[in-house]
Amino acid sequence: MMLYVSTRGHADRKRFCEILLEGLAPDGGLYLPERYPQVDDATLTRWRALPYHALAFEILSLYIDDIPADDLSALCRKTYTEKVFGTPEIVPLKPLEDGLCLQALSNGPTLAFKDMAMQLLGNLFEYELARRGQELNILGATSGDTGSAAEYAMRGKKGVRVFMTSPQGRMSPFQQAQMFSLQDANIHNIAIEGVFDDCQDIVKAVSNDLAFKRKWRIGTVNSINWARLMAQVVYYFAGYFQATKSNADKVSFTVPSGNFGNICAGHVARMMGLPIAALVAATNENDVLDEFFRTGVYRVRGGADTFETSSPSMDISKASNFERFVFDLLGRDGAKVTALFGDELARAGRFDLSARLGEVRDRYGFASGRSTHADRLATLRDTWDRFGVMIDTHTADGLKVAREQKQPGVPMIVLETALPIKFAATIVEALGREPQRPAQFEGIELLPKRVTLLPADAGRVKDYIAAHCG
Ligand SMILES: *Cc1c(COP(=O)(O)O)cnc(C)c1O
């Protein structure tokens, strides 16, 4: 049986469908599977030949044993279609220079990689809620892409409402229009007077109020949700299979990173035995993660030190999913994780694991780099001039760092996390031309907007939720 544990060491062990609807563990920790299933050579060989939905089913089956196989298979088949994701490969590689390619993860409904997990989550939620005869109110925080991906995955789904907080005025006009133009009755946009971390703190505060959470059936779709991470593990395998001919080959991945969700899925894939050489975290000027991987010191930033950049989906001051990796690094010792994340961070705003840095790099394969606005512009221009390929600003951060970190003889895959149309202003600044806009998004900025403005106050958000349920 596959059971899930909290990174803070709570004694409970839970099944997948319990944590699917739950979010944070009762002790404030994040859920992880009790062990990582191991994938052997014969299995890798068998999986190479599978279409994406079947690969997803195989991997998910290792982590989910409380949904009948036929149902899970049908959910994967329904989720990962050419119609929704644009190509039969779902996540095709796009070669650039020798040994370096992009993996296209951004051809879903909202043009960012978060659709890869969220579309599955929408179908899983609807399935499980119907099975239980229950409803769920999803509370989320977004600086852009999570919110729209969640709303497009949940719109019109039976038994689900979405309450999505976002920092007022901090998303691109296109991102705002994507979210605020949705008129579905089960979708609620809440703009918060603050930064992304205020939104994230509100979600945590509401989720930690267990009575409120139970009464209003609050769930989450933030990247702390294990099901999202698990869904993301699949495309690391799919990318690996496309880039290699034999299981003896290794590849590296560079991942434009913020909350450490995407790259944490890479860590899980590597722990399962996927032959990944390096996992490279690329940050923008908000370099909490790059600092950690260079120095071993994890230091969260205050709101005033959190910069508004041209790769805004990576503008974070702390990386929520990082706790999952630290749990593994510290031998899955929940007491140690609680001491660091529960106590030291609250007291000192930092902790020091520099004594483990060698292990972080050698045993777990992590590396990192940082990219600035000037780097993004240069990388956007260079990629357009040399290859005629237009990338987005987050992918540009990844590509810049990938070139620095690439090792001879090891293919480097850069995860393409969004399409350029989402961040048009910077594309125009770099290239002097507008990115192409998919037909379904023509003129969305002009559509009527559905959004409520609230102060950065968890109490006010609770009142809003209570007034809009049922
Ligand atoms: C969410 C997001 C990221 C950061 O991903 P994490 O899982 O938070 O590290 C990077 N790029 C884009 C475009 C995103 O939407």
Ligand 1 pocket test, pick from 224, 417, 427 with the greatest ligand atom count within 8 Å of Cβ, gives: 417
The H-assigned helical ranges of 159-251 are 173-180, 196-208, 210-215, 226-243
Q: Are 318 and 222 within 8 A, CB to CB? A: no
Sort 245 into a burial class: Cβ within 10 Å, 0-12 / 13-18 / 19+: exposed
The H-assigned helical ranges of 304-410 are 322-329, 334-337, 345-348, 357-362, 373-387, 393-405
Q: Provide the number of structural domains found in the chain.
A: 1
Q: What is the pLDDT of residue 293?
A: 98
Between the alpha carbon of residue 315 and those of residues 95, 136, 337, 452, the distances in Å are 28, 29, 24, 23
Q: Is the CB of 313 under 6 A from ligand 1?
A: yes
Q: What percent of the chain has pLDDT over 70?
A: 100
Q: Is the CB of 229 under 6 A from ligand 1?
A: no
The closest residue, in CA terms, to atom 8 on ligand 1 is 259
Looking at ligand 1, which atom is closest to the CA of residue 256?
10
18 CA from centroid of ligand 1 (Å)? 26
Residue 283: inside a domain = yes
Between the alpha carbon of residue 5 and those of residues 16, 27, 135, 225, 329, the distances in Å are 11, 11, 25, 13, 16
> Would you place residue 186 in the very low, low, confident or very high pLDDT band (cuts 50, 70, 90)?
very high
Question: Which one-letter amino acid corresponds to residue 297?
Answer: V
Q: Which of 149, 193, 210 is nearest to 22 (CA)?
A: 210
Residue 127: inside a domain = no
Residue 103: inside a domain = yes
Q: Are 251 and 244 within 8 A, CB to CB? A: yes
Residue 140: inside a domain = no
CATH number for the domain harbouring residue 368: 3.40.50.1100
287 CA from centroid of ligand 1 (Å)? 14
1 CA from centroid of ligand 1 (Å)? 32
Q: What is the pLDDT of residue 274?
A: 98
Looking at ligand 1, which atom is closest to the CA of residue 144?
15
Dihedral sign from CA coordinates of 103, 108, 112, 116: negative
Residue 464: inside a domain = no
Q: Are 71 and 82 within 8 A, CB to CB? A: no
Q: For residue 14, is pLDDT > 80? A: yes
Q: Give me the catalytic one of 14, 78, 83, 114.
A: 114
Residue 296: inside a domain = yes
What is the SS3 assignment for 11? Answer: coil
Question: Which one-letter amino acid corresponds to residue 448?
Answer: P
Q: Is the CB of 108 under 6 A from ligand 1?
A: no
Task: Give catalytic status of residue 114 as yes or no.
Answer: yes
Residue 78: inside a domain = no
Q: Are 99 and 50 within 8 A, CB to CB? A: no
> For residue 461, how many other CB atoms are within 10 A of its CB?
23
Q: Are 332 and 35 within 8 A, CB to CB? A: no
Domain that holds residue 338: 93-110+228-431
Q: What is the pLDDT of residue 446?
A: 92
Residue 412: inside a domain = yes
Question: Which one-letter amino acid corresponds to residue 23?
Answer: G
> For residue 364, how many other CB atoms are within 10 A of its CB?
16
Residues 158-168 have a mean pLDDT of 94
> For residue 428, how many other CB atoms are within 10 A of its CB?
13
Q: Is the CB of 111 under 6 A from ligand 1?
A: no
Structure-block tokens of residue 181: 């133009």
DSSP state of 98: T
Ligand 1 pocket test, pick from 107, 267, 313 with the greatest ligand atom count within 8 Å of Cβ, gives: 313
Q: Are 279 and 293 within 8 A, CB to CB? A: no
The Cα–Cα gap between 140 and 225 comes to 11
DSSP 387-445: H-----HHHHHHHHHHHHHPPTTS-EEEEE-B-GGGGHHHHHHHHSSPPP--GGGTTGG
pLDDT in tens, 80-110: 999 999 999 999 999 999 999 999 999 999 9
Q: Is the CB of 261 under 6 A from ligand 1?
A: yes
Q: What is the pLDDT of residue 400?
A: 98
Q: What is the pLDDT of residue 220?
A: 80
Q: Is the CB of 172 under 6 A from ligand 1?
A: no
Residues 4-28 have a mean pLDDT of 92
Q: For residue 196, is pLDDT > 90? A: no
The residue with greater pLDDT, 146 or 270, is 270
pLDDT in tens, 283-318: 999 999 999 999 999 999 987 898 989 998 898 889
The residue with greater pLDDT, 157 or 219, is 157
Q: Is the CB of 120 under 6 A from ligand 1?
A: no
